[in-house]
Amino acid sequence: MASCSGCGPGYRSPLDAMKGPREEIVYLPCVYRNTDILKPDYLATVDVDPKSATYCQVIHRLPMPNLRDELHHTGWNACSSCFGDASKKRNRLILPSLVSSRVYVVDVGTNPRAPQIHKMVEPVDLYWKCNLANPHTSHCLGNGQIMISCLGDPSGNGKGGFILLDGETFEVVGNWEHTGDAVPFGYDFWYQPRHNVMISTEWGAPKALADGFNPAHVMEGHYGSALHVWDWTTHRRLQTLDLGEEGAIPLEVRFLHDPDATEGYVGCALPSTVFRFYKTPKGDWAAEKVISVPSKKVEGWMLPEMPGLITDILISLDDRFLYFSNWLHGDVRQYDITDRKKPRLVGQVFLGGSIVSDGPVKVLEDPENQPQPPPRIIKGRRVYGGPQMLQLSLDGRRLYLTTSLFSSWDKQFYPDMVKEGSVMMQIDVNSVSGGLSLNKNFLVDFGKEPDGPVLAHELRYPGGDCTSDIWV
């Protein structure tokens, strides 16, 4: 390994990754489910190279062969976890469908600017071999396999289990967890092999969340509020950390990138909190709330109080900054996390959201005393929706974001975005002392797509990024 100067995919370390080349293209799943357009979802390739003649344009579209898949998050067949293995290449993008339970394997190696479908894993394989459905997060493993977390069982009930795919044939191998060890709800996961640990999170039961958000479903127990700690080697669940009401709907989970680290953060959507989880001196795991975005008292909205709704978080590759999006309030925040227990707010920018000053919602009381932000208009185009999925450049200087969360929730909270299409924006980051400012010359308008406005979701670079790569 010491003599290996990058023989496998990815980078030797997170700090090496920061010196990687600037991103030139980005892949985004684009969703037509829950819009008025009956077309398949597709994978868009967007040019983000400022020197290019097609900068800020969709340069390729790969439509799926089926309707209403709800493409959502993507992962790799191989990443930095396989860095020492010269036989591995990062040349297949794994594209699970959150609603249809189909998994597409896309060839991005032959021509990165024009991906093609390599294989389809049909839902019946997940149902029969694993008794799982609604696949969400995909991570490649150091052993060459691919692991995908699932939200439910084939009947739409909550069930947090994991399927394994063979990294060469992409056939379903079976469950990662032992029989009977699945947890009540599933969503995201991150593993840290040096500490023999994996941590998974909870969204809700697919049949509850599939058609929109009903607050009563939280009280009825259809949404999760726990982190699950797993033994990475034996695949046994060791602990469940119940975060309670202050940690309801814990979504994206991020360990620090340093593979020696024994801590990380999770964003909890409903109360808009961030919890730090960590290994205790006695060897078990614990969690504590370290950030809280207060709800605003409002009128003209579905509830008397509006949460920020933290929907995505990420950590810079040097483990210095934490970023998250408040999808409802409409802001993106940057925190200095050099003091892991006391994150410090150093950057904030508003990009749309539900409390814009010319909208139907009036803020009656805001514990943070912030004025209602003006609507965000970029290159003459109004931003509907709020900041949602995030992706940071390897060097930490550019933050890209999109506005779509999940088509049925988009339709419920931001009907104008469904009508006009989502957008992709870019924020310039001060990666020395902190600070965020919108790049007013960057906009990808998914309202102008050939088949009509579409909902673009997650962002992924061909060479890997800070939300897909894990170091072992």
User: Comparing C-alpha atoms, which of 266, 175, 173 is closest to residue 226?
Assistant: 266
Residue 199: in which H helix or E strand, if any?
Answer: strand 197-200
Question: What confidence tier does 382 reach under pLDDT thresholds 50, 70, 90?
Answer: very high
Residue range 226-252: mean pLDDT, rounded: 98
3-state secondary structure of 125: helix
Q: What is the mean pLDDT of the chain?
A: 96
Q: Residue 434 pLDDT > 50, yes or no?
A: yes
CB-based contact 442:56 (threshold 8 Å)? yes
3-state secondary structure of 410: helix
Q: Residue 449 pLDDT > 70, yes or no?
A: yes
- d(Cα 89, Cα 122) in Å, to the nearest integer? 24
Full-model pTM:
0.97
pLDDT of residue 86: 86
- d(Cα 375, Cα 118) in Å, to the nearest integer? 42
Q: Which amino acid is at 11?
A: Y
CB-based contact 428:461 (threshold 8 Å)? no
Distances 374 to 62, 384, 428 between C-alpha atoms, Å: 36, 12, 20
pLDDT of residue 6: 53
Backbone angles phi, psi at 200, to 5 degrees: -120, 160
Distances 377 to 344, 351, 353, 414 between C-alpha atoms, Å: 29, 9, 12, 16
Residue range 110-125: mean pLDDT, rounded: 98
CB-based contact 385:349 (threshold 8 Å)? no
pLDDT of residue 1: 34
- d(Cα 208, Cα 197) in Å, to the nearest integer? 30
Tokens matching residue 270 = 């409903």
Q: Residue 187 pLDDT > 90, yes or no?
A: yes
User: Comparing C-alpha atoms, which of 390, 386, 389 is closest to residue 354?
Assistant: 386
- Lowest mean pLDDT of 208-217, 231-240, 241-250, 417-426, name the range: 208-217
Residue range 14-456 forms a domain whose CATH class is mainly beta
pLDDT of residue 3: 42
Count other C-beta atoms under 10 Å from residue 388's C-beta.
28
Q: Measured between alpha carbons, how far apart are the two ends of the chain, in Å?
A: 12
pLDDT of residue 253: 98
Burial category of 128 from C-beta neighbours within 10 Å (exposed 0-12, middle 13-18, buried 19 and up): exposed
